[in-house]
Amino acid sequence: MMRQTVARLVLGGVLLASGPAVVQAAPANDPFEGFNRSVTRFNDTVDEWALRPLAEGYRKVVPEVIRIGVDNVFNNLSDVWSVVNNALQGKGEATVVMTMRVIVNTTFGFGGLLDWATPMGMERQTEDFGQTLGAWGVSAGPYIVLPLLGPSTLRDTAALPIDWQAGPTQLAHNSDQQLAITALKVVSTRAGLLSATKMLDDLALDKYTFVRDAYLARRLNQVYDGNPPDTPEETTPEEAPPAPEAVPAAPAASAVSAAPESGAPASAAAL
């Protein structure tokens, strides 16, 4: 879906180019870290010189009420695709709620320009085809940073073509209209993340790692509807139950130690 794609583009673009960084051995979910960091620097440059200035100008020139209306229309269009994905995942209640949400906002909200459904208690339950594949048991696979599109995984990348087919550009009648709709969506979404960009610049020591971990955690949370299962990496010795023969009074050295990190740099897969 175009909304998901734009979100990835923006998430990949919120990091600014900050010079070379020290790359340690890639974690299991990021075996292509060297390449990913290179693509991230490219995306950062595009954001710094094009996306961010356009988003700042859009926010200054376009009144807030119009910007909210534009966002509502795009959200309403994405809600239609969410209905389909909720149904594909067998979420009956969510499918009904999202269907009613689309009907209300389309009918009484002038095609989605106004969001009447949220105040009426019909909260948005966004689903895309990447989440559907995850719900069907397809693993996320390695973390990948796509040129211009930003953070992704192998599973989400495979889902992109189907999401695109359900995007708002399908309402366009020619390539010029498709380009205009895509540009408006990109700029509108980027404008909504200007404050988040500033916070990220101020807080993140290694912005690449911060965005990667945040993206993967968010996608895992989305696939499992906020209740992801424990992974082996999340289970620590403190959480494991004591062995039956353990004697509480017996002194013992601490059995908890952090896994050693390799200091060797990752192989240069950079562009």
Residues 106 and 103: their CA atoms lie apart, in Å, by 5
pLDDT digits (tens, 9 = 90+) for 19-65: 333 334 445 599 999 999 999 999 999 999 999 999 999 999 999 99
Residues 6+ apart with CB under 8 A from 28: none
φ and ψ at residue 143, rounded to 5 degrees:
-70, 135
Can you tell me the distance from the alpha carbon of 115 to that of 199, in angstroms, rounded to the nearest whole number? 28
pLDDT of residue 35: 97
Strand ranges for 83-233 from DSSP E: 143-146, 150-153
Per-residue model confidence (pLDDT) at position 231: 60
* DSSP letter (8 states) at residue 35: H
Does a structural domain hold residue 23?
Answer: no
- The residue segments making up the domain with residue 168 are 32-223
* pLDDT value of position 205: 77
pTM: 0.74
- Name residues of the chain where pLDDT drops below 50: 1-26, 232-271
CB contact at 8 A, 1 and 166: yes
> How far, in Å, CA of 124 to CA of 214, rounded?
21
- 3-state secondary structure at position 21: coil
Does residue 170 contact residue 161 with C-beta atoms inside 8 Å? no
Contact 55, 46 (CB under 8 A): no
Q: Would 178 be classed as within a structural domain?
A: yes
Whether 45 is in a domain gets the answer yes
Residue 167 Rama label (left phi>0; alpha psi -120 to 50; beta)? beta
Question: Within a domain: residue 235?
Answer: no
Positive or negative: CA dihedral 124, 1, 204, 59? negative
Domain total for the chain? 1
Residue 173: per-residue pLDDT:
86
In a domain, 74, yes or no: yes
Amino acid letter, residue 224: Y
Assigned domain for 13 exists = no
